[in-house]
Amino acid sequence: MPPTLSVAMIARNEEAKLPRTLDSVRWADEIVIVDSGSTDRTPEIARSYGAKHSFHRDFQGFTPQKNLAIDACTSDWIYLLDADEVVPPELADEIRQTIANPKFDAYWQPRLNLFLGRWIRHGGFYPDRKLRLFRRGAARMAGAEPHGSPQCSCPTGNLRHALLHYAYPSFRQYLTHMNGYSSDGARILIGKQKRACPPPPSRPTPS
């Protein structure tokens, strides 16, 4: 039998972005979405694409939430995807060809980021390599919030084609995203019973 692929995702109130993302991975054998409490049409949209949608409202951070999605996957291979990302056709073909004849158990790939209406190909925004494709059981999410990443101890390869990341199409969305990160970070710190303290007053500089 040919190898199978699961797409693992997390989501919360992503109804505006989700159709574009799910359209790009219709070819996958399984789509798993772990939801941290959407109040919009995210669950309905997910199920309309045949995704396995489940709620896990006890949000402990992006890394634990993504591990829940990874653990729910049942295919031979896993592709980790965010709701603001799109797999273009040339990358989809490369993924299918790679898992049909794999030389490694995990693969890095470039990611092309959209910032304020422009695809950024310089200034550290590209190639923005991410480890996203791995054999089930070969990698787990780890690292500091909110930007943990899959970690594995196996040798890794590289994909050639880029994942498209619709990061910040507008300045308003950029501010909304940053506010979301700060709110999620605050909830995590509160859950760990940690407090934020103001910095000590600065001393006057001798003249």
Per-residue pLDDT at 207: 42
Inter-residue contact 127 to 111 (CB < 8 Å): yes
The CA distance from 184 to 188, in Å, is 6
Indicate the Cα dihedral angle 20, 31, 149, 159, nearest 10°: -70
Give the pLDDT band of residue 124 (cuts 50, 70, 90): confident
Beta strands in the chain (DSSP E): 5-11, 30-35, 52-55, 77-80, 85-86, 106-109, 111-115, 118-120, 130-135, 140-142, 149-151, 157-158, 163-168
pLDDT at 123 over 90: no
Query: For the chain, which domains are there?
Result: 5-181 (3.90.550.10)
pLDDT at 62 over 80: yes
Inter-residue contact 64 to 19 (CB < 8 Å): no
Average pLDDT value over all residues in the chain = 88
